[in-house]
Amino acid sequence: MKQKHNLRFTVILIAILLAMAPSGLAQKKKNKKKDKEKAVPVFVDGEAQVVPGFDTPDEWIRHDLWVETEFDTDGDGKPDRMHVDVTRPFQTDTDSLKLPVIYISSPYFSGVAADSKEFYWDVRHELNTVPPPHKHPAPIKRRGTRPIISTSHTKTWIPRGYIVVHSSSPGTGLSDGSPTVGGDNESLAPKAVIDWLCGRAKGYTERDGKEEVKAYWSTGKVGMTGTSYNGTLPLAAATTGVEGLEAIIPISPNTSYYHYYRSNGLVRHPGGYLGEDVDVLYDFIHSGDESKRAYSDSIVRDGEMARGQDRVTGDYNDFWAGRDYLNDMEPMKAALLMSHGFNDWNVMPEHSLRIYEAAKAKGIPAQIYYHQNGHGGPPPMKMMNRWFTRYLFGVENGVENDAKAWIVREHDKRANPTAYEDYPNPEASDVVLYLKAGAPGQGELSTVPSENQGTETLVDNFSFSGTTLAKAEFTNHRLIYVTPKLTKEIHISGKARITIKLASSKPAANLSVWLVSLPWTERRKAKITENLITRGWADPQNYRSLTESEPLVPGEFYEMTFDLQPDDQIIPAGQQIGLMIFSSDRDFTLWPDPGTELTIDLDATKLVIPVVGGNEVLNAAIGE
């Protein structure tokens, strides 16, 4: 009997425990859900932290909509609407949580055209002549499915307490309108999205629908970021002065399409894209409504662009002025953290510097981050986090008191920049270097001027690359002048500048200038950037004016001054600094028939380089 009683008691106890188990499990899940619902942004040392309750991608809310703009650029008589997607933590619904927004806009999200040279301009023709026409690619087949336009930046920022929003630029994806490659609609489109995020513009559930969508989950604080074209659009939006755009982090942005496709009057292409121009880029990104493409092609590409881009003279005109964001800086007030590479020969490093300097002059909070690599490359996450935390969450982390400039030193990792008071380095001052004859070998660069040297002449030939010319011991296709070997390292910081007096044997000529570090590195994996300090290009026909060129009188001398690209580089002891002057730069300029002669007046030509410590430091390093 006792054994049966114990068995009966055990069975009852197990039954009770089993009955309680589901209830306990349910309570545990309920508590877990409750903890998630109570998730709020957390900050440590002035940075937004990853919050487990937000780091739940499977539970994020995703939806899309169309924001109505104030323009009509596809000719249908209705305001263009921009396609927008939203990704946000579920707590924005369950707990009525409002959060700031990280916003990324792009013309690339829905696909691009084939990147084939057959759609580029032919560069093999004489200067100041009408180039032969080029082909246009087939219409782009839009990629992607609703409601997701892109997933970029979501894993970075949503776990830290932000909402991430994307939009397709005008004339791309499911957005209305026409691509204009820097036209006003590319500034007003992201402005409209920000206005919607702040409750000032209307959003709709469908492209042609009337059911409205409200951004009830937005605090009205917006930050923008992106790389290349995606980095240009944050600046474009900021130049409208739109309320609510508090901070931007452009990465390698194109801040002037003239500076992208021209240089001091010269038709010059971005590195890696020889023959590209504004109309080529238009074709590359135009992934919008195919039924409206004929209108856009006619009005924008074959109309405004064909008239304005002017591949014959390369002069600066109203078309280019309207695509230069430096001209639109007056309304801007968003805090600026700029990022760029000193060896970015696609979007040159000057693009970021010119806007950074203008922002500082306006009193806008601004910092700049430069690394030693090429195109792209964001600032370290810590810098971006502090920037957005300060200006979107309003956390007083003192970021505005940090160093203004952050430079990644040679051979350091990009996440480990060196802080400087500013860029260019305030301790740098201009040092003037003069030319001494030496063609067809090497001449000299010296801080001591010479007199009555006469001239030296080079013969243009696009067949030879700049690298080949810089490495050559003797050649009449370039002139090169070098310093003595450095006995101590020198630090160059800022923009070098050349004043050159020259004559051409023809009415038009390319002019290219490289500043190099010699001897040339011959390691198997060596990159050109290990020896190329900086470079620049100019059209001698624009010696007097950037907006109006004039044919050169063969044999007559002209003087012009122009800047090379900004740089910050430490040249080690044992190297020589060389100035190379040549004509056609095979990878960047047009290719006229070889044979044009450029004659340089040695006494009237000089190079100015910004050296930390100035004349005293450089003279000590070269023994002068």
Residues 339 and 416 in one domain: yes
- 553-572 pLDDT, tens digit per residue, is 999 999 999 999 999 999 99
Is position 42 within any domain? no
Residue 252 contacts residue 271 (beta carbons within 8 Å):
no
Residue 90 contacts residue 56 (beta carbons within 8 Å):
yes
Percent of the chain with pLDDT over 90: 90
Q: Which helix (H) or strand (E) holds 354?
A: helix 350-361
- 237-267 pLDDT, tens digit per residue, is 999 999 999 999 999 999 999 999 999 999 9
Q: Give the end of a domain, one of 370, 391, 420.
A: 420
pLDDT for the residue numbered 144: 86
Distance separating alpha carbons of residues 372 and 290, to the nearest angstrom: 41
Residues 414 and 498 in one domain: no
User: Phi first, then psi: what are they for 409, rounded to 5°?
Assistant: -75, 160
pLDDT for the residue numbered 37: 52
Q: Is residue 458 predicted with pLDDT exceeding 50?
A: yes
Mapped onto helix, strand or coil, the DSSP state of residue 239 is: coil
3-state secondary structure 459-509: ECCCCCCHHHHHHCCCCCCCEEEECCCCCCCEEEEECCEEEEEEEECCCCC
Distance separating alpha carbons of residues 516 and 530, to the nearest angstrom: 9
Is position 13 within any domain? no
pLDDT for the residue numbered 624: 80
Alpha-carbon torsion, ordered 593, 599, 605, 607, to 10 deg: 30
Catalytic residues: 228, 344, 375
Residues 136-145 have a mean pLDDT of 90
Residues 242 and 372 in one domain: yes
pLDDT for the residue numbered 416: 97
Distance separating alpha carbons of residues 370 and 73, to the nearest angstrom: 37
Residues 341-348 have a mean pLDDT of 98
pLDDT for the residue numbered 594: 98
Residues 159-175 have a mean pLDDT of 98
Q: Is residue 10 predicted with pLDDT exceeding 80?
A: no
Residues 322 and 342 in one domain: yes
Mapped onto helix, strand or coil, the DSSP state of residue 361 is: helix
Q: Give the end of a domain, one of 396, 420, 444.
A: 420
- 414-442 pLDDT, tens digit per residue, is 999 999 999 999 999 999 999 999 999 99
Q: Give the end of a domain, one of 365, 394, 420.
A: 420
Residues 205 and 304 in one domain: yes
Is position 318 within any domain? yes
Is position 9 within any domain? no
Is position 491 within any domain? yes
Least confidently predicted of 6-15, 61-70, 253-262, 532-541: 6-15
Residues 217 and 342 in one domain: yes
CATH number for the domain that contains residue 406: 3.40.50.1820
Residues 446 and 395 in one domain: no
Residues 466 and 379 in one domain: no
pLDDT for the residue numbered 9: 37
Instruction: Give the residue among 152, 149, 28 at the shortest CA–CA distance from 83.
Output: 149
Number of domain units in the chain: 2
Residues 340 and 202 in one domain: yes
No. of helices (H) and no. of strands (E), the chain: 14, 29
Quote the domain boundaries for residue 456: 428-622
Is position 559 within any domain? yes
Is position 333 within any domain? yes
**DSSP assignment of 253-274:** ---BHHHHHEETTEEBPPTT-T
Residues 277 and 345 in one domain: yes
Residues 404 and 446 in one domain: no
Is position 33 within any domain? no
Residue 312 contacts residue 129 (beta carbons within 8 Å):
yes
Mapped onto helix, strand or coil, the DSSP state of residue 194 is: helix
Band of residue 530 on the pLDDT scale cut at 50, 70, 90: confident
Q: Is residue 1 predicted with pLDDT exceeding 70?
A: no
- 568-600 pLDDT, tens digit per residue, is 999 999 999 999 999 999 999 999 999 999 999
Give the sign of the dihedral formed by CA 369, CA 247, CA 215, CA 213.
negative
Query: What average pLDDT does the structure give for the chain?
Result: 93
Percent of the chain with pLDDT over 70: 93
Distance separating alpha carbons of residues 266 and 228, to the nearest angstrom: 23
Residues 271 and 303 in one domain: yes
pLDDT for the residue numbered 24: 43
CATH number for the domain that contains residue 490: 2.60.120.260
User: Phi first, then psi: what are they for 518, rounded to 5°?
Assistant: -120, 155
pLDDT for the residue numbered 529: 54
- 78-119 pLDDT, tens digit per residue, is 999 999 999 999 999 999 999 999 999 999 999 999 888 899
